[in-house]
Amino acid sequence: MPKASELKKGQIVQINNQPYIVSLIDVKSPSSRSGTTLYKVRFNHAQTKQKLDQSLTGDDFLAPIDFQKRAIQFLYADADGYTFMDNEDFSQSTLSAEQLEDELPYMHDGVQGLYGLLVEGALVGVELPAVVEMPIEETPPAIKGSSASARTKTARFATGLEIQIPEYLETGEVVRINTESGKFMSRA
């Protein structure tokens, strides 16, 4: 049974006999010595995506739930949603854009390291790798001699994601992006 202080984004827990995925954790530390740390946690229902906000103390226990984590591959997006294939049994499942709200900016052709979260055999969510590599779709031209400074510019990617990158990078270069923070890490 995980404690509230051990929760991580993307983890699945059981609340009122329903599967919920942790989508946001905000830690509030008290200013007084005897106060307890509060964890404001936003859960999304695994199937309906309904939001549930709860304030928990670090010692509150949450019930675990039976789920599987399997390697999957992103196939394509269409009007029905985003289709994924299980790498073990080659079965296909589709999730809607609402179900992939936080993961959508990183869903591009060829994304590696995806894991599907299955509850009772049904795909309910996708876990992103810690780092994704994506080619820059559009950015202002590089400025000569600016590589010594730490100035940044905005880069746009095919998925619509926009992040700040160093000034010396150009359109077409592949960069590594941290999926947790949404920030540039390095060239690929």
Residue 180's nearest CA partner among 48, 3, 29, 8 is 8
- Rounded mean pLDDT, 156-167: 92
Domain extent for 182: 132-187
Considering the chain, what percentage of its residues have pLDDT values greater than 90?
A: 30
R_g (Cα) of the chain, nearest Å: 19
Cα 133 to chain centroid distance, Å, stands at 14
Residue 84: what pLDDT? 94
Identify whether residues 8 and 59 lie together within a single domain.
yes
Domain count of the chain? 3
d(CA 51, CA 139): 35
Report helix, strand or coil for 86. Answer: strand
Identify whether residues 123 and 146 lie together within a single domain.
no
- 100 CB-side CA count, 13 A: 26
- Give the residue carrying structure tokens 């100035």: 151
Which residues face 74 on adjacent strands? 84
Model pLDDT for residues 34-75, shown as the tens digit of each residue = 678 888 988 888 777 788 898 888 888 888 788 888 999 999
CATH number at residue 157: 2.40.50.140
Identify whether residues 60 and 85 lie together within a single domain.
no
Identify whether residues 119 and 145 lie together within a single domain.
no
